[in-house]
């Protein structure tokens, strides 16, 4: 397959230089506009990293906007509320009844509300139609999640019952997995949709598998691929290839708590699990009992763990927090401190391994080749890790 980054870097020369845009109009009606200070209503959205804000007057409950966009985008219609009202809603984080989020698309749209602005119904936007279809598919699972919280989660948080909390989290993960599955199915069935690029970025926020994502990205609407965010995303795909399954693990050298340097490539011949974690990351540290059991069982069979801690303070406090966590969690495997995590985002180990969330674990075979990547602390990840290690080091299991 052709180098996608090179291809997309060339596209703006032919496409974006012409600034191809599509006209839109919004004819709106809102029955309750009491919140509108000076009868003003705003339309807000972003394009290619720039914030756009337009305003117009409401006349007898009616308003209109017109403009041009390069690609469908999330937008907000919002009444110009008094400063005291804005302050209240910002401090309480309640849903604003004087605002409505939707997908702005090309063509002629109608925005009608028989009540508050938040109750607006948008017609004429293909992207918004897709968003509403997806929302309807997700709704039953969100209802189950809310019901589970009311039935179990709320009381568990008050009782501080760790066993009950673990059971609740397992059920919560199962529902979230169903939501993720619905979103993934919609994305892969509708790659040309006006909401596809947003879905794609959400789907790959913490983990991006180039083998899965690159073919899909090529089907995305060209207006997204030509955008500033689209070009950045293409570059992210190229970075992810460097540590995708089948790639040689990038080498590095870092020091342990005693100042001894450890080079990743020196562990060739062993099955190595790189564990990117931090003392501040509770989901990371919750995986350590599981890692401890694996290490005890497989260390003599050629298994090694190399923990790479990522802290956020200064050098002195980083060392103290890191070593305290090592002692508290009784981590008896190799551990080093990532001292270049304050470098530019285009440099450093986290960038080399495309780490966008913690914990991230990378399993490397005896020849230094990446064979699996795990992001997050989930039962499915733990089970998959167990199975792969057993297959590699204890085929009798």
Give the whole-angstrom CA distance, residue 141 versus residue 130.
18
Cα 305-311-315 angle, rounded to 5 deg: 115
Say what the pTM is: 0.84
Both 98 and 194 in one domain: the answer is no
**356: domain CATH number?**
3.40.30.10
Quick check: is 83 in a domain?
A: yes
Domain boundary among the residues 212, 241, 270 is at: 241
pLDDT along the chain (397 residues), means of 10: 40 45 97 94 96 97 97 97 90 92 98 97 98 98 94 80 80 92 97 98 95 96 94 95 96 96 97 97 94 97 97 88 97 92 62 94 98 92 96 81
Instruction: Give me the pLDDT at residue 241, please.
Output: 95
Instruction: Give me the pLDDT at residue 16, please.
Output: 39
Domain that holds residue 326: 253-393
Both 263 and 235 in one domain: the answer is no
What values do phi and psi take at 64, rounded to 5?
-150, 150
Both 44 and 118 in one domain: the answer is yes
Both 209 and 280 in one domain: the answer is no
What values do phi and psi take at 368, rounded to 5?
85, 20
Instruction: Give me the pLDDT at residue 339, please.
Output: 84
Distances (CA, A) of 109 to 77, 122, 140: 13, 7, 28
Instruction: Give me the pLDDT at residue 58, please.
Output: 97
Both 230 and 263 in one domain: the answer is no
Both 383 and 312 in one domain: the answer is yes
Instruction: Give me the pLDDT at residue 346, please.
Output: 43
Both 295 and 270 in one domain: the answer is yes
Quick check: is 74 in a domain?
A: yes
Domain boundary among the residues 220, 241, 262 is at: 241
Quick check: is 12 in a domain?
A: no
Quick check: is 3 in a domain?
A: no
Quick check: is 246 in a domain?
A: no
Both 264 and 367 in one domain: the answer is yes
Under DSSP, the state recorded for 114 is S
Instruction: Give me the pLDDT at residue 378, please.
Output: 87
Quick check: is 1 in a domain?
A: no
Distances (CA, A) of 113 to 3, 100, 218: 48, 10, 38
Count of domains forming the chain: 3
Both 210 and 107 in one domain: the answer is no
Quick check: is 216 in a domain?
A: yes
Give the whole-angstrom CA distance, residue 373 versus residue 359.
11
Quick check: is 64 in a domain?
A: yes
Both 55 and 77 in one domain: the answer is yes
Domain boundary among the residues 100, 124, 148 is at: 124
**36: domain CATH number?**
2.60.40
Both 385 and 264 in one domain: the answer is yes
Both 138 and 179 in one domain: the answer is yes
């Amino acid at each position: 397959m052709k180098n996608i980054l090179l291809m997309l870097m060339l596209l703006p020369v032919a496409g974006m230089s012409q600034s191809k845009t599509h006209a839109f109009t919004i004819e709106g009606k809102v029955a309750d506009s009491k919140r509108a200070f000076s009868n003003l209503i705003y339309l807000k959205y972003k394009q290619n990293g720039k914030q756009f804000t337009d305003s117009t007057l409401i006349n007898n409950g009616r308003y209109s906007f017109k403009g041009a966009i390069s690609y469908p985008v999330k937008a907000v219609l919002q009444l110009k509320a008094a400063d005291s009202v804005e302050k209240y809603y910002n401090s309480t984080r309640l849903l604003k009844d004087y605002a409505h989020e939707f997908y702005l698309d090309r063509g002629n749209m109608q925005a009608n509300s028989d009540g508050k602005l938040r109750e607006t119904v948008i017609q004429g936007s293909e992207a918004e139609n897709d968003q509403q279809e997806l929302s309807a598919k997700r709704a039953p699972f969100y209802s189950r999640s809310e019901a589970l919280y009311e039935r179990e989660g709320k009381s568990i948080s008050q009782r501080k019952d760790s066993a009950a909390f673990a059971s609740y989290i397992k059920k919560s993960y199962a529902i979230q997995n169903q939501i993720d599955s619905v979103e993934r199915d919609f994305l892969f069935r509708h790659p040309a949709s006006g909401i596809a690029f947003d879905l794609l970025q959400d789907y790959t926020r913490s983990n991006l598998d180039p083998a899965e994502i690159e073919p899909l990205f090529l089907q995305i609407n060209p207006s997204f691929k030509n955008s500033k965010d689209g070009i950045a995303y293409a570059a992210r795909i190229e970075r992810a290839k460097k540590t995708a399954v089948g790639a040689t693990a990038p080498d590095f050298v870092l020091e342990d708590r005693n100042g001894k340097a450890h080079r990743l490539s020196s562990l060739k011949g062993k099955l190595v699990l790189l564990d990117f974690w931090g003392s501040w990351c509770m989901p990371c540290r919750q995986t350590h009992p599981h890692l401890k059991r694996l290490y005890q069982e497989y260390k003599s069979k050629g298994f090694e763990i190399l923990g790479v801690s990522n802290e956020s303070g200064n050098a002195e406090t980083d060392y103290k927090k890191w070593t305290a966590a090592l002692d508290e969690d009784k981590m008896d495997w190799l551990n080093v401190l990532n001292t270049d995590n304050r470098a530019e985002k285009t440099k450093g180990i986290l960038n080399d391994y495309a780490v966008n969330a913690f914990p991230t674990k990378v399993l490397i075979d005896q020849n230094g080749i990446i064979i699996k990547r795990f992001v997050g602390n989930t039962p499915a990840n733990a089970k998959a890790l167990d199975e792969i290690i057993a297959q590699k080091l204890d085929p009798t299991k």
